[in-house]
Amino acid sequence: MTPPLRKILHADCDCFYAAVEMRDDPALREIPLAIGASAERRGVIATCNYPAREYGIHSAMPTARALRLCPHLTLLSGDFDRYREVSAQIQAIFHELTPLVEPLSLDEAFLDVSAVSRFSGSATWMARWLKEECLSRTGITLSVGAAPTKFLAKIASDWEKPDGLTVISPDRVDDFLLRLPVNKLHGVGPATSARLDALGIATCEQLRTLSLDDLITEFGKFGQRLFELARGIDNRDVRVERERKSISVETTFAHNLPDIDSCRPALLPLCERLEERLARHGYPPVSGIVIKVRFDDFTLTTLESQGLAPSQESYDRLLEQAWARAKRPVRLIGVGARLLPEAKRRQLTLPLQ
Ligand SMILES: [Mg+2]
């Protein structure tokens, strides 16, 4: 039985926070510009414009490093109230097209347009309309990808950034996938990528030569996912109105970390990525922090602390307690922030650091 064909759009603003700043102050357009917390606060870059990217700066990079790469970088701490306002305008445009909108952050969303009859049902024309409306009403450019699945729509929106429009129609899915590098697949991070590389697998065409059995032996449960993604299968629905309860990032290590001392240095890059994710969500109020550790025997332990703000020091303390529960080599560490429920946000907020 073939499932009904879906039309999914992934819409993503181009360097959103920087774009809002450049819109409001044209003097910033041609110079390297980044939004992020200061180096003194051990901040990371949340967004930067294209002139800054030419210096090798990218989001989640420590601000101190960005300033070494480009000493004349214009660094702004960011006006998140203003970004949230523009975000609300853009999300409203999405909702004019379909009620099936799943926001991923302030500047990014999936839209399920399978049932939309406007534009003769053409996803390409819908994507064009979104781009035009967004630009004319907010002055911000969008990149949009259209595809039959979420993971392909997301890859497509990134394909011709900035101001991109990439459509992967159902008949082009196979062609597109065969040449696709495996590290573009949803969930394939550096560790999986390195192991695939060691197996001589660089593209989805090569990935398809591995049997489901092989993949499960090599990657556990994720092996099944790899098997499906390489064939364009991704049945995740666009999920509407889900209140985000936490924001987290995690890393599976290419080699297990033997002890607590070797785990500690891994926290810094994780905390930097978490900080960038929090920034992408406009710094929602945080009610506590959580750490997750998976040991070499695949047992998982999580530890939560209410009332702590996300900082490397807090995670360090939690990590030590979590590790002490098993005292085994570690294959994965995750750090997260628990978000204050929307209903409580007006009553209490914690400072971020
Ligand atoms: Mg974006």
**Which residue has better confidence, 64 or 341?**
64
Ligand 1 center–CA 160 separation, angstroms: 13
Cis peptide before 162 (omega within 30 of 0): yes
Q: How many helices, marked H, and strands, marked E, lie in the chain?
A: 13, 12
* Overall size of the chain counted in residues: 353
Among residues 168, 201, 220, which one ends one of the domains?
168
Which residue, chain included where needed, has tokens 């049997």? 211
- As a whole number, the mean pLDDT across the chain is 93
Question: In terms of domains, do 130 and 251 share one?
Answer: no
Residue 38 lies in a domain: yes
β-strand 33-36 against 8-13: which pairing, if any? unpaired
Q: Assess whether pLDDT exceeds 80 at residue 345.
A: no
Residues 6+ apart with CB under 8 A from 21: 28, 33, 35, 76
Residue 186 lies in a domain: yes
Which one of the listed residues 21, 102, 108, 276 is annotated catalytic?
Answer: 108
Residue 98 lies in a domain: yes
Ligand 1 center–CA 162 separation, angstroms: 9
Among residues 140, 168, 196, which one ends one of the domains?
168
Cα gap 307→197, rounded to integer Å: 42
* pLDDT single digits (tens) 11-63: 999 999 999 999 999 999 999 999 999 988 889 999 999 999 999 999 999 99
Question: In terms of domains, do 91 and 149 share one?
Answer: yes
Question: In terms of domains, do 8 and 43 share one?
Answer: yes
Q: Are 223 and 212 in contact (CB under 8 A)?
A: yes
So what's the pLDDT on residue 2?
A: 58
Question: In terms of domains, do 223 and 266 share one?
Answer: no
Q: Return the structure tokens found at 344.
A: 């409580």
Q: Assess whether pLDDT exceeds 90 at residue 189.
A: no
So what's the pLDDT on residue 346?
A: 61
Question: In terms of domains, do 164 and 183 share one?
Answer: no
So what's the pLDDT on residue 3?
A: 59
Q: For the domain that residue 212 is a member of, what is the CATH number? A: 1.10.150.20
Question: In terms of domains, do 296 and 335 share one?
Answer: yes
Q: Assess whether pLDDT exceeds 90 at residue 244.
A: no
Cα gap 122→134, rounded to integer Å: 18
Q: For the domain that residue 9 is a member of, what is the CATH number? A: 3.30.70.270
Question: In terms of domains, do 191 and 67 share one?
Answer: no
Is 12 known to sit in a ligand binding site?
Answer: yes
Residue 174 lies in a domain: no
Please report, rounded to a whole number, the percentage of residues in the chain having pLDDT higher than 70. 96
Can you tell me whether residue 293 is helix, strand or coil?
strand
Question: Measuring CA to CA, how many Å separate 124 from each of 4, 119, 173, 175?
Answer: 19, 9, 15, 19
So what's the pLDDT on residue 353?
A: 44
The arithmetic mean of pLDDT across residues 85-103, rounded, is 95
Residue 350 lies in a domain: no
So what's the pLDDT on residue 249?
A: 95
Among residues 146, 168, 190, which one ends one of the domains?
168
- The whole domain housing 328 covers 246-344
Ligand 1 center–CA 182 separation, angstroms: 22
So what's the pLDDT on residue 347?
A: 57
Question: In terms of domains, do 137 and 109 share one?
Answer: yes
Ligand 1 center–CA 161 separation, angstroms: 10
The arithmetic mean of pLDDT across residues 150-155, rounded, is 97
Residue 204 lies in a domain: yes
Question: Measuring CA to CA, how many Å separate 317 from each of 305, 312, 313, 323?
Answer: 10, 9, 6, 10
Ligand 1 center–CA 217 separation, angstroms: 36
Q: Are 9 and 127 in contact (CB under 8 A)?
A: yes
Question: In terms of domains, do 83 and 9 share one?
Answer: yes
Chain mean position to CA 269: 15
DSSP 8-class letter at 238: P
So what's the pLDDT on residue 209?
A: 96
Ligand 1 center–CA 13 separation, angstroms: 4
Ligand 1 center–CA 261 separation, angstroms: 36
The arithmetic mean of pLDDT across residues 152-180, rounded, is 96
Question: In terms of domains, do 160 and 183 share one?
Answer: no
Q: Assess whether pLDDT exceeds 90 at residue 349.
A: no
Ligand 1 center–CA 107 separation, angstroms: 5
Question: In terms of domains, do 162 and 187 share one?
Answer: no
Residue 152 lies in a domain: yes
Question: In terms of domains, do 91 and 162 share one?
Answer: yes
Residue 353 lies in a domain: no
Q: Mark whether 108 is an active-site residue.
A: yes
* pLDDT single digits (tens) 283-329: 999 999 999 999 999 899 999 999 898 999 999 999 999 999 999 99
Say how many Å lie between the first and final Cα of the chain, rounded.
Answer: 52
Is 107 known to sit in a ligand binding site?
Answer: yes
The arithmetic mean of pLDDT across residues 88-109, rounded, is 95
Can you tell me whether residue 88 is helix, strand or coil?
helix
Ligand 1 center–CA 46 separation, angstroms: 10
Q: For the domain that residue 283 is a member of, what is the CATH number? A: 3.30.1490.100
Q: Are 27 and 48 in contact (CB under 8 A)?
A: no
So what's the pLDDT on residue 332?
A: 94
pTM of the model: 0.85
* pLDDT single digits (tens) 200-218: 999 999 999 999 999 999 8
Number of domains in the chain: 3
